[in-house]
């Protein structure tokens, strides 16, 4: 089994196979295709530290060493 990975455009509902891979695929009886759609907008959660930097938490005073080690 030969594994080939490439990015392709979808044109009129058809996946266009790049020319350099057509020769390997054209003689096959069946092929297995896995499609991973690349999203154009960010769907993952923002990084916690990035959000904290944008919206810092305001406190009255810093914790003392004892307060920070209190459980």
Q: 56 is written with which tokens? A: 């810092």
pLDDT at 48: 87
Arithmetic mean of pLDDT over the chain: 85
- The answer to the question of residue 70 being in a domain is no
User: Is there a contact between 5 and 13 (Cβ–Cβ < 8 Å)?
Assistant: no
Q: What are the two backbone dihedrals, phi and then psi, of residue 51, each rounded to the nearest 5 degrees?
A: -65, -40
User: In the structure, what pLDDT confidence band is assigned to residue 41 with cuts at 50, 70 and 90?
Assistant: low
- The answer to the question of residue 48 being in a domain is yes
- State the DSSP code for 6: -
Provide the domain limits for residue 28: 10-65
| Region of 4 on the Ramachandran plot (φ > 0 left; ψ -120 to 50 alpha; else beta) | beta
- The answer to the question of residue 27 being in a domain is yes
User: Is there a contact between 24 and 2 (Cβ–Cβ < 8 Å)?
Assistant: yes
Q: Is the pLDDT of residue 10 over 80?
A: yes
- The answer to the question of residue 2 being in a domain is no
Number of domains the chain is built from: 1
Mean pLDDT of 30-48: 79
User: In the structure, what pLDDT confidence band is assigned to residue 43 with cuts at 50, 70 and 90?
Assistant: low
Q: Is the pLDDT of residue 39 over 80?
A: no
- The answer to the question of residue 20 being in a domain is yes
pLDDT at 37: 84
- The answer to the question of residue 43 being in a domain is yes
- The answer to the question of residue 1 being in a domain is no
- The answer to the question of residue 5 being in a domain is no
């Amino acid at each position: 089994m030969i594994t080939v990975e490439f990015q392709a455009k979808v044109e009129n509902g058809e996946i266009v196979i790049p020319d350099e891979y057509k020769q390997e695929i054209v003689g096959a009886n069946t092929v297995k295709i896995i499609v991973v759609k690349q999203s154009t907008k960010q769907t993952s959660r923002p990084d916690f530290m990035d959000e904290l930097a944008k919206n810092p938490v305001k406190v009255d005073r810093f914790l003392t060493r004892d307060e920070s080690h209190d459980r």
